Amino acid sequence: MIPQTELHICDWRSELRHAVSDGETLLARLQLNPEQLGYSALAARDFPVLVPRPYLQRITPGDPDDPLLRQVLATGQETLVEPGYSDDPVGETGATIQRPGVIQKYRGRVLLILAGGCAINCRYCFRRHFPYQENRNSRQEWLQALEHVAADTSITEVILSGGDPLLVADAALAELVATIAAIPHVRRLRVHTRLPVVIPQRVTDGLLQALTGSRLRCVMVIHSNHARELDASVAQAMQRLREADVELLNQSVLLAGVNNHAATLVNLSERLFEIGVRPYYLHLLDKVRGAAHFDVPQAEGIALIDAMATELPGYLVPRLVHEEAGQPGKTRIA
Which residue numbers belong to the known binding site for [4Fe-4S] cluster? 118, 122, 125
What is the radius of gyration, based on Cα positions, of the chain? 19
Q: Are strands 109-113 and 102-103 parallel, antiparallel or unpaired?
A: antiparallel
Q: Give residue 59's identity as a one-letter amino acid code.
A: I
Question: Around Cβ 8, how many Cβ atoms within 10 Å?
Answer: 10
Which residues are annotated as part of the binding site?
118, 122, 125
Name residues whose C-beta falls within 8 Å of residue 299's C-beta, 6 or more positions apart in sequence.
Answer: none
Q: How many CA atoms lie within 13 A of 146 on its CB side?
A: 24
Query: 256 near 296, Cβ under 8 Å?
Result: yes
Query: 213 near 246, Cβ under 8 Å?
Result: no
- State the Cα–Cα distance between residues 32 and 13, nearest whole angstrom: 28
- State the Cα–Cα distance between residues 184 and 172, nearest whole angstrom: 21
Query: 64 near 32, Cβ under 8 Å?
Result: yes
Which has the closest alpha carbon to 197: 5, 3, 15? 15
